[in-house]
Structure 1
Amino acid sequence: MKNLTSPLLLAATLLSVPALAQTTGPTGVRSSTDYPSASGGTDSRNTGFGIKGGFTASNFRGDDKKNYSDEGIYNTFHAGIYTQYGFSDKFSVQPELLYSRQGFAGNNGLPNSQGQLVNGAYNTRLDYIQVPVLLVYNFLDNVSVHVGPQVSLLTKVRENGVERKLAKDANNNYAYNSLDYGLAAGLEARIGPARVGGRYVAGFNEIIKDQDLAKTGNRAISDIKNGAFQVYVGIGFNR
């Protein structure tokens, strides 16, 4: 009997190798359900990092929007990096670090940066460093919904092509809020390592603060908030 033990063990081991290969090595294009969760394995497709960038269509909203005439869309761009941490094949969290140009454009009779009333085109560019933290849910194999809070730091303002200070001073009859916070929500599709998506970002803080009504002809312009639609492409790398 002892002489049969070694051959039987060897045969059992050889027979188990194909079965093990079938359970641990799916062939072809792998779907999200082929991957274990980040907590249960190291091969989760929802854990990784990447780069992204694309087009931004920016505008503003709020109660004082009526005091701006012929307002239009400010077309610009955004770009940055992201990292993603998977909890399962369906859920993950995705922090991002983005540089985003936003703003608004149109025609009005509001004062310029020297406090003089002007009638004509205006163009305001706002440069932000943005940090969205998004909950990602894969409701289809390669399509996910993203939603979460976002914090933005205003780094530069240009009015009609001229850079100005964020603070109010003798030449500026209003200041800009350096901090914005809001909510981002959108959809994303994956094609191999590539990502294509779109989202809307709504700011909740006022863009303009400390307005001096004596210099603006009693026209309130401070209650306006950021709104932007972003379309992007990206490349991701799984961990």
Structure 2
Amino acid sequence: MKFKLSAFVLFLFLAQASMAQFSIGLKAGANIIKIDGKSFNDEFKYGYHLGGFANIGIGGRFSIQPEVLFNQYQTKTDSSFNHIYQNALSGATDVKLNYLSIPLLLNYKLGSLLSLQAGPMFSVLMDHNKNLLQNGEDAFKKGDFSMLGGAQISLGKIKLNGRYVVGLNNINDIDNKDKWKSQGFQLSLGLGL
């Protein structure tokens, strides 16, 4: 009986979802990010992101926008990095972090052109500088959890996004001497298909 009830609820959900407004698209843009922590320069560096998105209407002015993005963050270590972490390589100042990110945003339409967006972003570290530490340890944790907030302008199939990103996790995987967190902005151009 539970199986039949579950199947019926699933059927109702899928029927409702199929009647909802649904669209997909591609996007690309710039990341203007810094890593906070006394081991890193206090400056924003440019990276990029690219990927795809879907927009699922859930009624009224609300929709859900899941995305899958390749995100690249760049930063520089501060001169104090070698003093804090004795096993660090001298001269390893430029750091690139490549993430596979999945933002899950709630959109609220203010009008036909403008939507406000907010939601979490889950990121998995795909690649990073392996030469940051002499002993081959990983300097960065394998994942990050962030919150996003911003706006989207829809001009037909063209979508312009501006978002603020704040990392909530400490991504330092060496020790607890210094907390490393990301923050910054994402600017992107999307095209609905």
Superposed CA deviations along residues 114-149 of structure 1, whole A, max 9, x for unmatched, are 82574x682111100000111000012210011011
1:196 pairs with 2:160: yes
8 Å contact from structure 2 (residues 149, 163) kept in 1:
yes
**1:115 equivalent among 72, 87, 103:** 87
* Matches of 1:184 and 1:86, distance apart in 2: 19
* Matches of 1:182 and 1:153, distance apart in 2: 11
Change (3 A) 1:78 1:227: same
Change (3 A) 1:234 1:205: same
Q: Which residue of 2 aligns with 1:90?
A: 61
Q: Which residue of 2 aligns with 1:208?
A: 172
* Matches of 2:74 and 2:53, distance apart in 1: 24
What residue ranges of structure 1 are gaps of 5+ in the alignment?
A: 1-37, 214-219
1:88-237 to 2 correspondences below 5 Å: 88-105=59-76, 107-111=78-82, 115=87, 118=90, 122-158=93-129, 163-164=130-131, 171-172=135-136, 175-211=139-175, 220-221=177-178, 223-237=179-193
8 Å contact from structure 1 (residues 129, 155) kept in 2:
yes
The CA RMSD measured in Å over matched residues stands at 2.9
Q: Which residue of 2 aligns with 1:26?
A: none
Deviation at 1:70, TM superposition (A): 4.1
* Matches of 1:108 and 1:84, distance apart in 2: 44
Change (3 A) 1:117 1:76: closer
8 Å contact from structure 1 (residues 136, 147) kept in 2:
yes
Superposed CA deviations along residues 173-192 of structure 1, whole A, max 9, x for unmatched, are 66321011121111000111
Identity %: 25
Q: Between Structure 1 and Structure 2, how many residues are aligned?
A: 178
* Matches of 1:40 and 1:151, distance apart in 2: 24
Deviation at 1:227, TM superposition (A): 1.2
What residue ranges of structure 2 are gaps of 5+ in the alignment?
A: 1-14
The normalised TM-score by structure 1 is 0.65
8 Å contact from structure 2 (residues 54, 65) kept in 1:
yes
Highest Rg: 1 or 2? 1
Deviation at 1:39, TM superposition (A): 4.6
Question: In the alignment, residue 24 of structure 2 is paired with which amino acid?
Answer: F
